[in-house]
Each structure stands twice: as structure tokens, then as C-alpha cells.
Chain A
């Protein structure tokens, strides 16, 4: 039995010799297991796998994906899920079992161009993927900043137990929805926070395989570790200078971020404009659970310890953001901002119900 090891491989590289179980992106050739992708090979007791570093999205059952409605027939919508297969969302999934094409107007629920978050219920080699929005937090995404990243970078963006995405969300007061297919939607009220979050996500994508990435993301977002905070509190005299520096650097950062956002939003324009075109007449939903609920005050904020290991998208309770803001800055203005944010969200939620 050889020791468990990780190493870089390209297609055709021999990973290990012996009777191991091929798990992912690995094939047997003679006595050897060889890699079929560029990536990081891991040989363990349960088997051998290669974590790929490039490639398009291939759907898998139970994946959470963000897709765009591209067409509709009388019984289902066609969804582009950034893959070589179009997904189908059956109308019965949204309207219930008694859906009738003659009675129900599918356009009232989803229009062409709308973004949805959905789960893949079935997919195999013979059929296109089938989606569902019948679950908590699934359904239409009303607004947000649209980013496309490589699907192979998604696990890195989420981080261990959602650590990376939580860092970004908390530091920028945004909410980030990540689809396994590499589509990310960032929502938030503060434009600077939004553009900073977009910049951080782009950074994670570009530098995903480098070491110490979390630290660099934190420095980009001006997040300090608790130990560093204590040090800065001790050094009271230098605080003023530090804060000045921080302000100037933030201004630079946000300028850069705005320009990058402009690029990014080119992609998003088509989707967001089409979804905003339907926003003056908000769709009336009979089933509120299929509508994505941005107001998350009721939900308890799940801490890193209690979270399931595979967290497809992380959610942040806005009240917790408020707590963080108060703890870190102790600034009345920002807490007022958070209160206003909550009130507005409540109003929006009410409007949607009406």
C-alpha cells in the first residue's frame, strides 16, 4: 500500500500502480491508473481521483445551478445552464400537478431572459437535465450582479465549509448565490460593497490554485484577523494614520472594482435588463416558496461549525451583518443603514406578496 499523496498531473500521466478504485477523472491502463484531466491527483484508501483545473460544466444530479430561461414550450421552459446540455423546467413543477396549458399563463411565472436558481433532479447520458424549483431558496432571481466563473473554481470560491464566501459576504454586506455551473449572482444594497465582492470573486477565480489566497482576499476586503485587530487597538497612536491609508486604498480599490464591474455587467445586461423589464409588474406568485426570498431575517445564521460540508450557496442574515458592523466599527450611521436595509427588504417582500 503506497502512501497517500497529492501531485500535479496532465492527461496520460500515470498516477499510481496497483489495484486502486478509480473515482473521478481517472482511468485504468494496464496496471496503472492514469489521469484524464489536468489537475491535482489524490490517491487515498477509498480510491484515486483527479481534481480538475479546467473544463466546462457537466451536469450532475442534485447540483444547484443558476440558469437563464431561453425558451418556453407549452409544457416546460428551456433553461441555459452554461453547459453543453439545455435543461428543462417542467411547468408542473412551478404550477403544481393540476397545471393546464389552456388555463395557466406560463409567462406570469417566468419569462424568457429570467434568471432562476434550481436543482437538477435527473440527468443521465440519454436525457437532458431536468430541473426543479420546489425547494427552499429556489426560484427566480429578481436582481443582482451576474458573474460567470469557471465551474472548476466553484469549490474554491465556496471554501472549506463555506469560509471563503462567508468572508466575502460579511466584509462587503452582500449576498452571493453560487451555482455549481459557474454562474454567480451577487446582490446587495451598497454599490461599493457589490463591486468589491465582484472584484474578490474575480480574484478567487484567477488565483484559485495559489496558496494563501484567503489572506489576500481578506486584505483586498480590508478584513483583519482578530489577532491583528488586537494589535491595532494596542497601537492607538498610529490608528489615525492607518485609517487614512485604509481610506485611500479603499478608494483605489473601488475605482478598479467599478471598472471591472462595467466589464462584467456587459454579460449581465441582457439578463438583468430583461428581468428588470418585467419588474414594473411584479409576477404574482401563488406559491411563495418558489420565489426567492431575499429577506432572510427569520432564518438562523448557520455558523461554520454547524454547516453541512457541501454548502452550495451560503446565506448571511442581515441582522448578523449589522452585529458585525456594530462590533467592528461601532458606528451609528452604519447600523442605521442596516436598519434601513432591513425595512426596505420587508417592504419589497410585502410588495411581492401583494
Chain B
């Protein structure tokens, strides 16, 4: 497959998007009754469900930290999430993504508020279409807020990449495999800090800067969707901040 199919002469990508367009995102909060917090995200063709349990007591006990909470993440792809069956045993890739999701969420949480406890985050990919780690981070952050854990900020995430000479936002599965670079970024929109930055491919310095800025812009768009989903769950349809003088 050559690059022309990734971006046509009108600037349209393989799925019909422009170079600065996100895939459609839909987040539903509180989908799992047994969990303390949960969220379901549809990020293009990605379908990911996230459950958060905790703060709860640590088992095994020796894992507990005396001064802060332990955050445990498990990213897992269902056997039916890809076109060929995926072995359900945790692969090297899943172990790594579990780690990067944990590290991208940790700076947003005030873990010192819950010493000797643990927060478990389960990210289950039901359907995968590229960018599932970003979608997992977005949903996990919303689920953590739903669980009522003290946070400095929500974490939003978005990838940007390079297709030939074009820097594009939100890489999908095809573009990830056939494109030239893929850069997932997780970002704290209010604090304006980056908590995850990975790069697969080659970028020049100017391309890197453009890619990073584009990804941050994407994160800000995603943040609005996260905020709207949380507001909808807790305050009904009053999406605007309701202000009243007491």
C-alpha cells in the first residue's frame, strides 16, 4: 500500500477525515455497577471499557506503601478485539502498555491522600483500531474521577503522526501500520503538563514540534468530551456550570 491511499489529493485520509480531524468519540460514565468508577469509550472503532476499584486494602499486604497509595493498571485486549484471535494471556505489548498507562495517570492523582491502600484500574479493549492506549487513558481518567479519587486534573490523550510530509492528528490502525511516525501524547489540560510521550518512527525537529503541538490540541478537544461526559452523569443535562448566589 503506498502513501497516496493514506492521504488523497483533496487532503482526505483513508477514513475520510481531514488531517486535523479526530475520530468520533463517545464516553459513557458509570457503566459497571460493581466498580467504584467506570467508563466506556468509543474512539472511532475502538471500544474500551474501564473499571476502577478503590481505594481499597492491598492484597498481598507487602505491596502496600506506608506513605501513599499504590496504583495498579491492567491493560488487556479481549481475544475477539482484533481480526485474528488474540491469545488472552498478557503479551509483552500489554504489559508495557499497562505500565505506560499507569505512569501517565499517576501524576494526575493525589496518591498521598490514601496511604496503605491500592487503586486498581482495569482497561479492557473490546475492539481495537489503533490508538487504544490513548483511548484507554482517556476512559481510565474519567473512571478515576467517577470513583471519587482526589485528582489534580483529568488526563486526556491523543496521538499525532506523520504520513509522508503531512503531520496528521489521531492516527488509526491503518495509518499506524503504513504511516511513517506515530506519537501518542497524554496531557493534563488545566495544569498544561505532558504525562506520556512516545514516538514510533522518525521525525525531524520541526516535524516533532508540529506533531507535539497538534497532539496537544487534540488532547484539548478530547478534554471537552471527557468533561461533558462527567457533567452529564452527575448533573444531568445541565452541561453549563450552574451558578447561583446563595
Contact = CB atoms under 8 A, between A and B. Distances in A.
Interface of A: 3-14, 25, 27, 29, 34, 36-38, 42, 52-56, 58, 84-86, 125-126, 152, 209
Given A4-B245, A6-B246, A12 B190 contact: yes
User: Which of B117, B235, B244 has the most chain A CB within a 10 Å cutoff?
Assistant: B235
A3 B244 CA distance: 10
Interface of B: 36-37, 54-57, 66-67, 108, 110, 113-118, 145-154, 188-191, 227, 230-231, 234-235, 238, 241-246
A11 B54 contact: no
Given A55-B148, A86-B57, A12 B154 contact: yes
Contacts of B57: 84-86
A15 B147 CA distance: 21
Contacts of A4: 245-246
A54 B190 contact: no
Contacts of B190: 12-14, 29, 34
Given A4-B245, A5-B244, A54-B37, A38 B146 contact: yes
B55 A126 contact: no
A8 B56 CA distance: 27
Nearest to B189: A12
B148 A84 contact: no
Nearest to A36: B150
25 contacts: A4-B246, A5-B246, A7-B242, A8-B231, A8-B242, A11-B145, A11-B151, A12-B153, A12-B190, A13-B190, A29-B191, A34-B153, A34-B190, A38-B234, A53-B148, A54-B148, A55-B147, A55-B149, A56-B55, A84-B57, A85-B117, A86-B57, A126-B66, A152-B148, A209-B235
B174 to A, nearest CB: 34
B147 A36 contact: no
A84 B146 contact: no
A209 B238 CA distance: 12
A53 B37 CA distance: 12
Contacts of B152: 11-12, 27, 29, 34, 36
Nearest to B67: A125
B148 A6 contact: no
Contacts of B116: 84-85
A11 B234 CA distance: 13
Given A54-B37, A85-B57, A10 B148 contact: no
Given A8-B238, A12-B151, 10 more contacts: A5-B245, A7-B243, A10-B145, A12-B190, A25-B150, A29-B191, A34-B152, A36-B110, A54-B234, A84-B57
Contacts of A55: 36, 147-149
B65 to A, nearest CB: 12
B139 to A, nearest CB: 15
Contacts of A13: 190
A10 B243 contact: no
Given A55-B147, A56-B148, A84-B55, A10 B231 contact: yes
Contacts of A152: 148
Contact of A54 (B66, B146, B244): B146
Contact of B230 (A10, A52, A56): A10
A137 B183 CA distance: 61
Given A11-B151, A11-B154, A54-B146, A125 B115 contact: yes
B238 to A, nearest CB: 7
Nearest to B54: A84
Contact of A6 (B66, B151, B244): B244
A9 B145 CA distance: 11
B17 to A, nearest CB: 28
B243 A5 contact: yes
B98 to A, nearest CB: 22
Nearest to A30: B191
Contacts of A56: 36, 54-56, 147-148
A103 B61 CA distance: 33
A105 B54 CA distance: 36
A38 B114 contact: no
Contacts of A37: 145, 148, 150-151
Contacts of B110: 27, 36
Nearest to B227: A10
Contacts of B231: 8, 10
